[in-house]
Structure 1
Amino acid sequence: MKVRIAGEASVEEAEAIAQAMATHAEADVEVYIGDADEPAATSEADRSPIEDDLGPTEREKELIEQIEEIEEGGPEKYKEQLPEQGKHFVRDRIDLWFNPEQSSAGSQTESGDDDGFLFEDGKFAEFDADDKLPADGLITGGAEFEGRDVHFMANDYTVKRGSMAAKGVEKFLRMQQRALKTGKPVLYLMDSSGGRIDQQTGFFANREGIGKYYYNHSRLSGRVPQICVLYGPCIAGAAYTPVFADFTIMVEGMSSMAIASPRMVKMVTGEDIDLEELGGPQVHATESGSADLVARDEEHARQLVADLVQYLPNNSDEDPPEIASKPPKYQPNGIDSIVPQEPNKGYDMRDVIDRVVDRDSFFELQPDYGPEIMTGFAHLDGKPVGIVANQPAERAGAIFPDAAEKAAQFVWKCDAYNIPLLYLCDTPGFMAGSQVEKDGILEQGKKMIYATSEATVPKQTVVVRKAYGAGIYAMSGPAYDPESTIALPSGEIGIMGPEAAINAVYARKLAQIDDEEERKETEQRLREEFREDIDVRRMASEVVIDEIIPPSSLREELTTRFRFYEDVEKDRPSKKHGTVL
């Protein structure tokens, strides 16, 4: 509302008029003196609720008391056991995740975002049960985490050890089905002993029962990020949620997952084993590959997920978020000094990565599983990339079955969520031998090559040093449609390395040379001739690769190429789906 008053009025009078009229008219008021173009005073209307004599009734007070009782969780004796296990009560855990600044459960995180618990669904589940089952042991709802909206579920271990029954299953399914509609990520905060066996009627085999979890997991897979954190023993059906999730984090000394409990294992097989040995973090982080990361405690688990989500979009229709660019941790001009010229000499590929990506941005996944290949996210000039890198410090970077499987899954996830891929190749190829054949080197190698072939995100491949055998295929070599294949001057591309090649081609000829010195000289000459043949300059001369670049310019080169190709379009053949993964 605009009001004009006489020109001789004072500013004090204009302010008084503005305040009075705003209160009376319940509208914002601007007061002008005389012919002035700018208001002499303004006042905003008070839009706070009007007080009256009405207030909460006994009915509402009773409801509030019921809510407070539900939020207390299960029996106090079970809550008292949680600190001994290093655990938070589930609602304290939710505060830690979504209200970290107010949480009394643990130390504050470094988030700084206005995170917040938004709402809960199904709080009154099993309210009328004969047994006390607050929320049926499962909390579901919506929250804001690190600046983005997420769906979440969290088991209450004080209620029947977090076990699942009909009402909790219904809540879980609704949460998943709503995530399909909203396209928002899902957090699974798991602490469940599995299905409630004595109440299985009504939820186990039903069309909308616990089996539907995994149907929905499959439908959500590649649509929205699914992230699972394990806080306790997840046995039987409960153990499938973490393995269906895109990313799974276990907590040291707390988490486990297995298809059956130690008691059941002993009954079925006679094996006497404890839960840690059967399915603890060490087992799944190093041997099965089912855990991506292991946290020290609950606070660390939250921080790991906070770090992870900065590389991920909300869903498959979006691009991953960009952040402010940072210079690398170390100067790029040290790369050439790190990479040995000798193909069999080991070095740590992390030292190369630290000179290419933004400072401290490399977020490695499954570091202890298949360590001959490194997989993880990083920022390059502020933009997320997925890195697949051979690790010459581990068994010369040869590709073993578990490493191939790890790489295949990672490439598949990056492609699902529109994260460009950077391959850093330094491998003698796939490992040979009877044991790796039994372990499925062909089967897992096939999956890695398939995932690389099917990926439609922008790909850049760097031949850092050796690229022998089918290793150049798995690492997205020229035949696998990368946007660029570039090499450092230390690079070599060939069917095999010089030692193996000389043995394969010239073993009989060399054996016929009686003079040992002559044989060594001949062998050295043949090796040098072979290395000239597989040198990247020969490959560049044949236009097999796109360019050889000075190592000190690798970061700049990759940044430019990823930016240039960020909108590249790739089509897959028209088909229902492949048959490899």
Structure 2
Amino acid sequence: MGGLRQRRERLREGIVAGNSRGVDRQHTLGKHTARERLEQLLDEDSFTEIDMYRRNQEGGDDAPHTDGVVAGSGEIDGRRVFVYAQDFAIFGGSLGEAHASKIHKVMDLAIATGAPIIALNDSGGARIQEGVMALHGYGGIFRRNVEAAGVVPQISVVLGPCAGGAAYSPALADFTFMVRDTAKMYLTGPDVVEAVNGERVSHEELGGADVHGSRSGVATVVYDDEDSCLEDVRFLVSMLPDNNLEPAPRAERCGAATDDRPRLAEIVPVEPNQPYDMREVVGELVDDGEFFEVHETWARNVICGLARIDGEVVGVVGNQPMVLAGVLDRTASQKAARFVRFCDAFSIPLVTLVDVPGFLPGTEQEHAGIIRHGAQLLYAYCEATVPRIQVIVRKAYGGAYIVMDSRSIGADLSLAWPTNEIAVMGAEGAVNVLYRKDLAVAADPDERRKELVTEYTERLMHPHFAAERGLVDDVIDPVETRSAVARGLAVLRDKRKHSPQRKHGTIPL
């Protein structure tokens, strides 16, 4: 038995140590090894590995153990997660039959036990030598991604190449992290692009982190290095529930229900056309100013992210007047719709901050399907059964007002600042439409227009117009926004709403 133990320990030590040449190559590229990443991501000594001895049976005794992926379970701040880390030092992290079966096992266990799934991707793609079995392995991963959707949180971290079919798993995840310079993600590489289209493009230009962070919208968050990336993965997990049947972790209450914020009265200009940063409003609204923003550099005219208010995790959606005056366009609608659906799937309350002049006009938007994409956001809010609080900060015009979680589509509580302007359109535009003939014959059209704008504003756009008709529950002092939202969340905490029996809805994708 003593001899068997020694043999076992030597084998395990060799597997953990890995191929020294491959390890050195990873470090030369500025990348950590798979096991180093797991050590940084998980609590100390919490990782339990499965299938350490697994290898490709056709490779004989020379085939490396683990088959290029380290898989198992560990803890983050004492909470169970399941994780796999592809090992680029073995077969370039390529996916074969044994490699895929380990990932399948981990995902099955996560779904069965109700714990988050974290994937650390660093792979050259399908293992060509194994042919269709490699493709079959990817299909099994994608099927499990879909089975897990809305059941357990899924986080994908791209720390190296993620090419071909491998890119679909991060696309199916709830959150996708990427690291600049080292992470690359695309369906067809630069060589194929050049051969088919004659277009020369670098790996970075085709599928680098900044491309997916700001243009495609595939990357949720982008980082400069692996350390800060993995640190933020830990932070994100601290705000997510284990599964769809558990609440998100609550922190200690911090007296938000009586916490007035005078600065809120200073951030937002009274003039409707003056820009400001909605993130500053969010910073005053949430606990300790901590806001985990998603898709920060994509569709920047709307902001989405997770935060806490009086210790309770909430999803925040807000128009961003600093970009395109905060209008909704097709990408902003997509971004917000996906985030709203995630929050609803995992019972995270929604707080929507509204300052929207409408949908972006123009042939480009119309032809690109802004109606369909706007309908996605409308559908997401209408479908959501979580507590929903709307705060109208300033403008709320036209269909965009309806879409941004108005009372008419199911918001539980609608609050408005005294600066609110809720109308079909702005007073200037309304006067130009309604009084076109009057203005055409006026002796002084400019002066007459000013009179009509003032009259229209006082009659139909005064701060209490919507409140008088029950579409706004209260007109609040801006300094009371944090306390009013905190009290609203407390009132709605035990909300229960059951949807009609159906297989699933038909969201206009």
Normalised TM-score (structure 2): 0.95
Matches within 5 A, 1:365-376: 365-376=294-305
Matches within 5 A, 1:130-529: 130=60, 131-205=62-136, 209-326=137-254, 332-513=261-442, 515=443, 518-529=444-455
Superposed CA RMSD: 1.6
Question: Quick check: 306-315 or 412-421, which moved more?
Answer: 306-315
Tell me what 2:31 maps to: 87
Asked if the contact 1:466–1:491 (Cα under 8 Å) also holds between the matched residues in 2, the reply is yes
1:7-55 superposed Cα distances (whole Å, 9 cap, x missing partner): xxxxxxxxxxxxxxxxxxxxxxxxxxxxxxxxxxxxxxxxxxxxxxxxx
| In structure 1, C-alpha distance between the alignment counterparts of 2:140 and 2:284, rounded to whole Å | 46
Letter in 1 for 2:212: H
3-state SS in 2 of match to 1:231: strand
Task: Tell me how far 1:127 sits from its aligned partner.
Answer: 6.8
1:571 pairs with 2:498: yes
Letter in 1 for 2:79: R
Residues 560 and 90 from structure 1, CA distance in 2 versus in 1: closer, same or farther, beyond 3 angstroms? same
1:437-463 superposed Cα distances (whole Å, 9 cap, x missing partner): 133211110100000000000000011
| In structure 2, C-alpha distance between the alignment counterparts of 1:204 and 1:307, rounded to whole Å | 34
1:376-424 superposed Cα distances (whole Å, 9 cap, x missing partner): 1111111111001011111111001111100000000000111000011
Asked if the contact 2:260–2:482 (Cα under 8 Å) also holds between the matched residues in 1, the reply is no
3-state SS in 2 of match to 1:230: strand
| In structure 2, C-alpha distance between the alignment counterparts of 1:201 and 1:430, rounded to whole Å | 46
Matches within 5 A, 1:63-82: 63-74=8-19, 76-82=20-26
| In structure 2, C-alpha distance between the alignment counterparts of 1:507 and 1:283, rounded to whole Å | 47
| In structure 2, C-alpha distance between the alignment counterparts of 1:461 and 1:290, rounded to whole Å | 28
Letter in 1 for 2:397: Y
3-state SS in 2 of match to 1:476: coil
1:525-566 superposed Cα distances (whole Å, 9 cap, x missing partner): 111122221223111122221111111111111111110111
Asked if the contact 2:241–2:248 (Cα under 8 Å) also holds between the matched residues in 1, the reply is yes
Task: Tell me how far 1:326 sits from its aligned partner.
Answer: 4.5
Asked if the contact 1:331–1:355 (Cα under 8 Å) also holds between the matched residues in 2, the reply is no
Asked if the contact 1:325–1:358 (Cα under 8 Å) also holds between the matched residues in 2, the reply is no
Asked if the contact 1:326–1:382 (Cα under 8 Å) also holds between the matched residues in 2, the reply is yes
Select the structure with the greater relative contact order (CA < 8 A; seq sep ≥ 6).
Answer: 2
| In structure 2, C-alpha distance between the alignment counterparts of 1:387 and 1:202, rounded to whole Å | 43
Asked if the contact 1:488–1:548 (Cα under 8 Å) also holds between the matched residues in 2, the reply is yes
3-state SS in 2 of match to 1:204: helix
| 1:530 paired residue among 437, 456, 465 | 456
3-state SS in 2 of match to 1:82: helix
Normalised TM-score (structure 1): 0.84
Task: Tell me how far 1:84 sits from its aligned partner.
Answer: 2.4
Task: Tell me how far 1:201 sits from its aligned partner.
Answer: 4.2
Residues 327 and 273 from structure 1, CA distance in 2 versus in 1: closer, same or farther, beyond 3 angstroms? farther
Q: Any unmatched runs of 5+ in structure 1?
A: 1-55, 100-114
1:139-193 superposed Cα distances (whole Å, 9 cap, x missing partner): 1101011221111000000111110001011111111111111001011011011
Q: Any unmatched runs of 5+ in structure 2?
A: none
3-state SS in 1 of match to 2:218: coil
Asked if the contact 1:492–1:534 (Cα under 8 Å) also holds between the matched residues in 2, the reply is yes
Tell me what 1:27 maps to: none
Task: Tell me how far 1:97 sits from its aligned partner.
Answer: 1.5
Task: Tell me how far 1:331 sits from its aligned partner.
Answer: 6.1
Task: Tell me how far 1:294 sits from its aligned partner.
Answer: 0.7
1:80-136 superposed Cα distances (whole Å, 9 cap, x missing partner): 22222210111122111225xxxxxxxxxxxxxxx4333111111117624543310
3-state SS in 1 of match to 2:305: strand
Matches within 5 A, 1:520-559: 520-532=446-458, 533-559=460-486
Asked if the contact 1:230–1:249 (Cα under 8 Å) also holds between the matched residues in 2, the reply is yes
3-state SS in 2 of match to 1:303: helix
| In structure 2, C-alpha distance between the alignment counterparts of 1:474 and 1:116, rounded to whole Å | 48
Asked if the contact 1:426–1:466 (Cα under 8 Å) also holds between the matched residues in 2, the reply is yes
